[in-house]
């Protein structure tokens, strides 16, 4: 038990045992360097004795200049040296790998919940006697939910008293329980409401999954692992229809949600025992709490905790609900990139309406074969990730090496891949009736653009808006979810009304293709005028 306690401090399971008094978790790990720990204990011991006669407790002399400088506050709780084993960047490789895997699996399972429903939509419409648009609400409301959730969960995860682990675990538990409700529901209104709530509850993994990866991976290799996490975020919703179809064919539509119960319960058990807190501020807060309890002294504090103690409810509401939209409306860079990504995201979810028209209506695919038709997106992920890695190594790394890096460098990747989106849409629309392999080829081109556009845009925004990054990402998430929520609702009607003989999705896809051509100029314009626009923005820094 002691080995588990040292290896997986700050897991939800240990939190419960510690609160119940069944386990005592020491403020400092047993494998903390003895010299550093002894020095820290000496400082704390001096303060407890109240020895104020010795000025060396409060001041130290600079040997070179002889000047007197203030020593650190002995009540301030910090990491002990650069090699403190509790700091996420110092975790063993095996533990880091496990945590990254857990974040990816959590993201995949919760993200899969959006599209896994689609193979059962016709059966649900028949059972509840509703039309296609009402049936599609179950997809749209889920997507809208995970777009709105980050407005609250993303700021909450940054609070030292809350952190990330508890948000993941509690929301996943509720998510799992409500999947049971979806499996047993007896009316369409209840199903739509439950789908929206589960969408909100799945959003912490989407809102802060990348941040969790950034907590435990050194900055120079963060893009490598964020790319892997991004693959999971794309692969999950395109795998969902295949799994959902398997359940519908084997049993009925309700078994889609029973499958979600089993998968989310399995991930919940894994997180419950083996997912430690990754936020450095929350880790320090927990250490501070244990020191206070051990020494019976409430004077110990962390910098983040003291800073947050001055925040009001109004400050939180401004950060969560007002600033994301303020930045979108007042900053043309953010508005342009958010609009571009939102169109891509809406188009991605529009494929869930277009694929049945093409692969079932034209090629007479079965429900299982239709699920397999989405696998082209996964093939595209592999190519896209390889291109992204090559760009990071050959371009971005060299720019950093020679100190010539600017945020606009990331836009080169978007400029290179932007042509793939209109190509994929025109190919999907006008070659859909030629052979079934051509729409799948269009999937690869689609991901080549969208994956690299996401990676380059998010990196560009991170470098350009470091102070307000959480608000920028939250606003981006709302716009993406808004488009992804709306597009499926009008998608089938658009395709049906614009269909011509032999080309059922040609003009519908072409309209989006024309928009994507216009939006493809955005990275080129920002590459040239981005520095000027950033200099005029009050949000950059």
As a whole number, mean pLDDT of residues 325-352 equals: 92
Dihedral of alpha carbons 453, 454, 455, 457, sign? positive
Strand-pair partners of 503: 500
3-state SS assignment for residue 531: helix
Residue 344 reports pLDDT greater than 60: yes
Residue 218 reports pLDDT greater than 90: no
Q: If we measure between CA atoms, which residue out of 100, 351, 374, 55 comes closest to residue 236?
A: 374
pLDDT of 459: 87
Instruction: Point out the least confidently predicted range of 17-26, 134-143, 316-325, 469-478.
Output: 316-325
Cα dihedral 448, 452, 454, 455, rounded to 10, equals 150
**What is the phi/psi pair of residue 158, to 5°?**
-85, -10
As a whole number, mean pLDDT of residues 215-224 equals: 82
State the pLDDT confidence band at 236, using cuts at 50, 70 and 90: confident
State the pLDDT confidence band at 12, using cuts at 50, 70 and 90: very high
Q: If we measure between CA atoms, which residue out of 54, 84, 47, 83 comes closest to residue 300?
A: 47
Residue 381 reports pLDDT greater than 60: yes
pLDDT in tens, 147-188: 898 888 888 888 888 889 999 999 999 999 999 999 999 999
Percent pLDDT > 90 in the chain is 55
Residue 298 reports pLDDT greater than 60: yes
As a whole number, mean pLDDT of residues 209-213 equals: 85
Q: Which CATH architecture has domain 1-25+87-311?
A: Up-down Bundle (1.20)
- The CA radius of gyration of the chain, in Å to the nearest whole number, is 26
As a whole number, mean pLDDT of residues 379-408 equals: 90
pLDDT in tens, 241-286: 999 999 999 999 999 999 999 999 999 999 999 999 999 999 999 9
Domains 1-25+87-311 and 330-540 share a fold: yes
Task: Report domain extents, the chain.
Answer: 1-25+87-311, 330-540
Beta-carbon count within 10 A of 68 CB? 12
CA distances from 17 to 4, 14, 21, 75, 283 (A): 13, 5, 6, 27, 17
As a whole number, mean pLDDT of residues 504-508 equals: 92
Instruction: Point out the least confidently predicted range of 207-211, 331-335, 346-350.
Output: 207-211
Distance, in Å, from the CA atom of 355 to the CA atom of 491, rounded to the nearest integer, reads: 11
pLDDT of 52: 43
As a whole number, mean pLDDT of residues 191-206 equals: 92
Give the fold, CATH level 3, of 330-540. Growth Hormone; Chain: A; (1.20.1250)
Tokens of 279: 């936020």
Residue 371 reports pLDDT greater than 70: yes
For residues 111 and 260, the answer to whether their CB atoms sit within 8 Å is: no
Place of tokens 């998510």: 175
Distance, in Å, from the CA atom of 290 to the CA atom of 40, rounded to the nearest integer, reads: 15
Residue 345 reports pLDDT greater than 60: yes
pTM: 0.87
pLDDT of 227: 84
Number of helices followed by number of strands (H, E) in the chain: 26, 2
State the pLDDT confidence band at 80, using cuts at 50, 70 and 90: confident
Residue 452 reports pLDDT greater than 90: yes
As a whole number, mean pLDDT of residues 492-518 equals: 92
For residues 147 and 481, the answer to whether their CB atoms sit within 8 Å is: yes
What value does the mean pLDDT of the chain take?
86
Dihedral of alpha carbons 327, 329, 334, 337, sign? positive
């Amino acid at each position: 038990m002691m080995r588990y306690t040292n290896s997986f401090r700050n897991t939800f399971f240990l939190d419960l045992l510690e609160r119940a008094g069944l386990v005592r978790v020491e403020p400092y790990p047993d494998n903390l360097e003895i010299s550093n720990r002894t020095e820290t204990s000496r400082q704390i011991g001096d303060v407890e004795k109240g020895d104020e006669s010795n000025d060396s407790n409060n001041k130290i002399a600079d040997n070179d200049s002889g000047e007197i400088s203030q020593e650190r506050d002995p009540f301030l709780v910090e990491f002990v040296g650069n090699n403190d084993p509790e700091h996420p960047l110092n975790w063993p490789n095996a533990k880091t790998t496990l945590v990254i895997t857990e974040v990816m699996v959590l993201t995949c399972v919760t993200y899969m919940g959006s599209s896994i429903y689609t193979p059962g939509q016709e059966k649900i419409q028949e059972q509840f006697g509703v039309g296609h648009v009402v049936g599609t609400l179950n997809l749209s409301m889920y997507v809208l939910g995970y777009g709105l959730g980050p407005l609250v969960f993303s700021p909450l995860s940054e609070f030292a008293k809350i952190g990330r682990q508890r948000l993941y675990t509690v929301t996943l538990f509720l998510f799992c329980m409500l999947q049971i409700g979806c499996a047993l529901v007896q009316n369409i209104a209840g199903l739509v409401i439950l789908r929206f709530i589960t969408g909100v509850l799945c959003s912490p993994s989407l809102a802060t999954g990348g941040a969790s990866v950034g907590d435990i991976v050194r900055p120079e290799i963060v893009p490598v692992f964020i790319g892997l996490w991004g693959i999971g975020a794309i692969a999950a919703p395109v795998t969902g229809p295949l799994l959902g179809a398997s359940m519908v064919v084997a049993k009925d539509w309700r078994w889609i949600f029973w499958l979600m119960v089993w998968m989310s319960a399995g991930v919940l058990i894994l997180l419950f025992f083996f997912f430690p807190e990754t936020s450095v501020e929350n880790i320090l807060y927990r250490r501070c709490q244990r020191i206070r309890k051990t020494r019976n002294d409430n004077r110990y504090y962390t910098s983040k905790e003291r800073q947050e103690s001055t925040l009001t409810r109004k400050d939180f509401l401004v950060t969560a609900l007002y600033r994301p939209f303020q930045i979108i409306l007042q900053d043309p860079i953010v508005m342009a990139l958010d609009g571009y990504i939102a169109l891509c995201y809406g188009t991605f979810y529009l494929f869930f309406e277009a694929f049945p028209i093409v692969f079932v209506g034209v090629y007479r695919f079965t429900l299982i074969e239709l699920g397999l038709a989405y696998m082209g997106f996964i093939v595209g992920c592999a190519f896209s990730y390889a291109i992204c890695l090559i760009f990071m190594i050959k371009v971005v790394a060299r720019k950093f090496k020679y100190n010539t890096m600017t945020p606009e460098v990331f836009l080169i990747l978007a400029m290179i891949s932007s042509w793939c989106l209109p190509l994929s849409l025109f190919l999907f629309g006008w070659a859909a009736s030629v052979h079934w392999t051509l729409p799948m080829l269009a999937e690869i081109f689609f991901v080549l653009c969208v994956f690299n556009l996401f990676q380059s845009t998010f990196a560009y925004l991170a470098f350009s808006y470091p102070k307000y990054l959480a608000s920028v990402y939250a606003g981006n998430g709302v716009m993406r979810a808004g488009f992804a929520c709306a597009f499926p609702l009008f998608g089938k009607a658009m395709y049906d009304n614009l269909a011509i003989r032999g080309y059922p999705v040609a003009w519908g896809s072409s309209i989006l293709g024309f928009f994507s051509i216009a939006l493809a100029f955005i990275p080129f314009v920002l590459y040239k005028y981005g520095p000027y626009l950033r200099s005029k923005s009050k949000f950059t820094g």
